[in-house]
Amino acid sequence: MEKIIRIADRIKETRNITPNELEELLTTDDEQGIEYLHSLARTTAHEVYGNAVYIRGLIEFTNYCRNDCLYCGIRRSNTNADRYRLSTEQIMECCRSGYELGFRTFVLQGGEDPYFTDERICAVVSGIREKYSDCAITLSIGEKTKESYQKYFDAGANRYLLRHETADDEHYRRLHPREMSLSNRKQCLWNLKEIGYQVGCGFMVGSPYQTVKTLYSDIQFIRELNPHMVGIGPFIPQHDTPFAKMKAGTMEETLRLLSVIRLICPRVLLPSTTALGTIHPQGREKGILSGANVVMPNLSPVSVRKKYELYDNKICTGDEAAECRSCMERRMEEIGCHVVISRGDYAE
């Protein structure tokens, strides 16, 4: 126990971790030590954000994708995916109902869908910007040129989520088709930052071929980029992908990494993800109790939620889930946290 406590304290103090310490934290069976790690991360989040949990309304507006990432259920080679895209009217309707429910951030996420040209993206963004001037608009639509990112920014987008997926070159190549590269993905993140977006990177926990060494690279890349947001959640196999038979990431490992990231980046906006809620019924609550401070309930029309199937058994896709907001509020109150009506910007 002493050993894990010393490591946790040292991470908080130095805002860094050594490869050996990371290995120790990820492999130990010292439950009390790990409980200390989580409570230290929780306290750190509390020092910056109090017991506030920020909510983001996720709008999954297209599942067409030109990419072929080996882990992802909406990859272009998956001919079993039932493709859809939302109309501008449908997207605006998601925002309208979201606003009424207290959402002040809308996250537009989708595959890299050629139908959504820069012009169309900008039209959607400026439509939302005009109607909801007090809201943050987050885009999560993959790799684009710097010019495109600039156009979306000028149209009114404020934030951009682009998980780097892994900061290890060889690992990156094993998760992606030849035409994709880690260097381009990283360059996109630097470009976004330079333009002035609040930027989020991140990775899947337990993705195939991930090791302590690749995770160490992830953490060092996060330290270097110093992003405003970090999205991590367990890898979950999707039955129509080449990784269908691979093992899923675990909740325990995800929680430990959430805590490590909170201690290294005390002010970071850190979601407790839907994937974490998918592998355990209390996953998202445990994520918050391990230092996360954001949840991203689904605002997509219920009719398309099952189709945005990045991984198997995704939660909140049934009729009963139309109301994610009150469910989340209840869940957070149960663990002593409070969902706030706020843009929830990065605390500078």
- Interface positions with ligand SAH (CB under 6 A): 71-72, 109, 111-112, 140-142, 162-163, 165, 204, 233, 235-236, 238, 275, 310-311
Nearer to ligand SAH, 103 or 235 (CB): 235
Residue 275 CA to residue 80 CA, distance in Å, equals: 21
Contacts of 152 (CB under 8 A, 6+ apart): 118, 121, 122, 125, 139, 144
Q: Which amino acid is at 83?
A: R
Hey, what are 341's tokens?
A: 């009506």
Query: Which residue is associated with the tokens 């929680």?
Result: 255
Minimum Å distance from CB 248 to ligand SAH?
8
142 vs 277 by CB, closer to ligand SAH: 142
Shortest CB 142 distance to ligand SAH, Å: 3
Other CB atoms within 10 Å distance of the CB of residue 303:
10
Q: How far is the CB of 83 from ligand SAH (least distance, A)?
A: 14
Contact partners, residue 145, CB within 8 Å, separation at least 6: none
We find the least distance from the C-beta atom of residue 166 to ligand SAH, in angstroms, to be 10
- How many angstroms separate the CA atoms of 106 and 145, rounded? 22
| Residue 176 half-sphere exposure toward CB, CA atoms < 13 A | 20
Task: Kindly state the smallest distance separating residue 108's Cβ from ligand SAH, in Å.
Answer: 10
Quickly count: other Cβ atoms within 10 Å of residue 289's Cβ.
22
| Closest distance of CB 274 from ligand SAH, Å | 9
Comparing CB distances to ligand SAH, the nearer of 25 and 162 is 162
Q: How far is the CB of 319 from ligand SAH (least distance, A)?
A: 24
Neighbours of 213 (CB within 10 A): 13
Q: How far apart are CA 228 and CA 199, in angstroms?
A: 5
Tell me whether residue 204 or residue 316 sits nearer to ligand SAH (CB atom).
204
**Closer of 19 and 209 to ligand SAH (Cβ):** 209
User: Would you say 44 or 166 has its CB closer to ligand SAH?
Assistant: 166
Q: Which is nearer to ligand SAH, 31 or 169 (CB)?
A: 169
In angstroms, rounded to a whole number, what is the distance separating the alpha carbons of residues 347 and 247?
37
Provide DSSP, 200-248. Answer: EEEEEET-TT--HHHHHHHHHHHHHH--SEEEEEE----TTSTTTTSPP
